[in-house]
Chain A
Amino acid sequence: MISLDNVSVSYGSGARQINAVRDVSLSVSEGEAFGLVGESGSGKSTVLRAIAGLIPHARGRVVLNGQEMQKHRTKAERKTVQMVFQDPYGSLHPNQTVDQTLSMPVAIHGLGNPDRRVAAALREVGLGREHRYRYPHQLSGGQRQRVAIARALILEPRILLLDEPTSALDVSVQAEILTLLARLRRDHRLTALMVSHDLAVIAHLCERIAVMAHGAVIETTTADALASGKVTHAYTRQLLRSNRGFDRSGAEIVDVVS
């Protein structure tokens, strides 16, 4: 369903060039949930944006649903893949009501029946009529993220990209959103690609997981392997260790250089 072949993204040029993504190749089969985990600067969000078609200057091949994606995507190609962003505060236009935000994609693609579609989308993500005409600042973080999910799904995509969808949310709300995402994925038979820095969250939702650092894929493993600690690369082991929590007795302070 998703196939990346030597995708690279760099910014700037010459001595100050930053290679955000270096020759990343991976493939995700239909209906699978694939996770990308790494720390900040690892390039995981950039990979996601390259798949979404938000980085026209990305190099390499991106093949979605059998079609190779060009630099500038057509409207039909856009319909195939949608994304839920990390920041529920930044991904909704502050001057538009929920209704307007959800009606726009329907209008762009001329899908018809906007009123019914918007109402159905809201119902699916657990929001009610009372939320439909509110502005983003009148909604809680969890509610905004639900709107973002509704917006992603209203175009009925085949692929859903998730960029740290719960890291800006409270713990209790995170559980609700993760459960919602799992259910929607099942109901709509979506192929999902999720990015996070939190191993537990990724392992909860995804079967196969790739670990990224410094723009490259270090290791590809499964959630089960992570859970049992059977990983090969040292960096992955370090991530697992950190994920276990702070250890007062065992903490070793390392001098930092930069």
Chain B
Amino acid sequence: MTDTVAWRGWLLDPAPASRRQARLGRWYRAWMAFRRNGLAMTGLGVVLARVFMALVAPLVADPGTANLQVLEDRLQPWSAAHWFGTDELGRDILVRLLFGARITLTIVALVSLIVVPVGLGIGLPAGYFGGWIDAVLMRITDIFLSFPRLVLALAFAAALGPGIENAVIAISLTTWPPYARLARAETLTRRRAEFIEAAELQGASHLRIILTQIVPLCLPSVIIRLTLDMAGIILTAAGLGFLGLGAQPPAAEWGAMVSSGRQVLLDQWWVSTIPGVAIFVTSLGFNLLGDGLRDVADSRSA
């Protein structure tokens, strides 16, 4: 007990003695503010639960079980053997749900890793340098913005063939433009700040200013936007899966699961509905998390 109190005291120390202490103290204060928001904590809980599911999947069940077809047991409602019932090919839905979490989170993670650097890489220089650089980069952004996500994804699937990697590429290509705009807007706001002028005065190169001064300011809003967008990304991935363009059967992707249960929707409703609920809850979780993060960020910048 005294250990936690000591830790807390160290983190909240008004006179930190090292960079690490100062930085950790800052994160801790932000966490304290975040913790107060019940909905945000719920969102965080949901997201963590999904990550847990994804990690735990291979431990709970043999990967083969996800695709184990036991045709005699098809379309069973929940029972002791199959907690969420079975689908039209006799596969256990719960196990497929767990493995589906892996696929969903993989897609989300890959898209994030592509979208954030690309968005920052285009939006930041546009806002910082202005002039023709801004015009050119923003017109490129506008071109990509004009593509509806699903249509572009379909085009890619047609061109490259279906599969998760291509789904990720397609989703990323249509998701990055708003981040570029966001990064540009943040940069424009801060561009004339006095601390930027001070950095120029000291002889800092443009690259140094962008990387050390501006990126840390843009990153919070970009990350918050990303968590709020997760819902959309998940739904798009599910949509692609539903259309047969994302993960291919027999992979247990939530969207594909919803699709394959369509025929039996009226009688064995759980086959489509349960993965649908999973999609909904996960999206909502990310949304709440993003809202909570934004509240914390707003209060700190106020």
Task: Report Cα–Cα, A95/B19, bound state, in Å.
Answer: 12
Knowing A85-B194, A93-B195, A108-B208, the reply to whether A133 touches B22 (Cβ < 8 A) is yes
Q: Which residues of A122-174 have CB atoms within 8 Å of chain B's CB atoms?
A: 129-131, 133-135, 138, 148, 151, 155
Q: Find out whether the CB atom of B198 lies under 8 angstroms from the CB atom of A151.
A: yes
Structural contact, B202 and A105, CB atoms closer than 8 A: yes
Residues 55-95 of A, flagged 1 when their CB comes within 8 A of B and 0 if not, give 00000000000000000011100110011011100111111
Q: Interface with A: B9-17, B49-57, B176-184, B280-288, which one?
A: B9-17
A6 to chain B, nearest CB (A): 23
Q: Number of B residues whose C-beta is below 8 Å from A?
A: 27
Q: Chain A: which residue is nearest B20 at the CB level?
A: A133
Is there contact, CB below 8 Å, between A135 and B22?
yes
Whether the Cβ atoms of B18 and A104 lie closer than 8 Å is no
- How far, in whole Å, are A93 and B190 apart by their CA atoms in the complex? 10
A108 CB to nearest chain B CB (Å) = 5
- Cβ contact of B216, chosen from A52, A95, A109, A151, cutoff 8 A: A95
Chain B CB within 8 A of A221 CB: no
Is A3 interfacial (CB 8 A cutoff)? no
Contact present for A133 and B194 (CB under 8 Å): no
With a cutoff of 8 Å between Cβ atoms, the chain B residues found around residue A99 in the complex are 19
Complex contact B203–A108 (CB within 8 A): yes
- A90-B194, A108-B208 known; A100-B201 Cβ under 8 A: no
Choose one: A108, A135, A155; the contact of B26 (CB below 8 Å): A135
- Does B203 lie within 8 Å of A109, measured CB to CB? yes
State the CA gap A131–B23 with chains docked (Å).
Answer: 14
Point out the residue from A85, A94, A95, A133 that lies within 8 Å of B198, measured CB to CB: A85
Docked CA distance A53–B203 (Å):
10
B162 nearest CB across to chain A (Å): 43
Residues from chain B with Cβ under 8 Å of A85 in the complex: 194, 197-198
Q: Let me know if B200 and A54 touch, CB within 8 A.
A: yes
- CA A24 to CA B186, docked complex, whole Å: 35
A10 within 8 A of B: no
Contact A54 B197 (CB under 8 A): yes
Flag if A53 contacts B202 (CB, 8 Å).
Answer: no
Docked CA distance A155–B195 (Å): 16
- What residues of chain B have their CB less than 8 Å away from a CB belonging to chain A? 14-19, 21-23, 26, 193-195, 197-204, 208, 212-213, 216-217, 301
Q: Which residues of A contact B (CB under 8 A)?
A: 49, 52-54, 73-75, 78-79, 82-83, 85-87, 90-97, 99-100, 104-105, 108-109, 129-131, 133-135, 138, 148, 151, 155
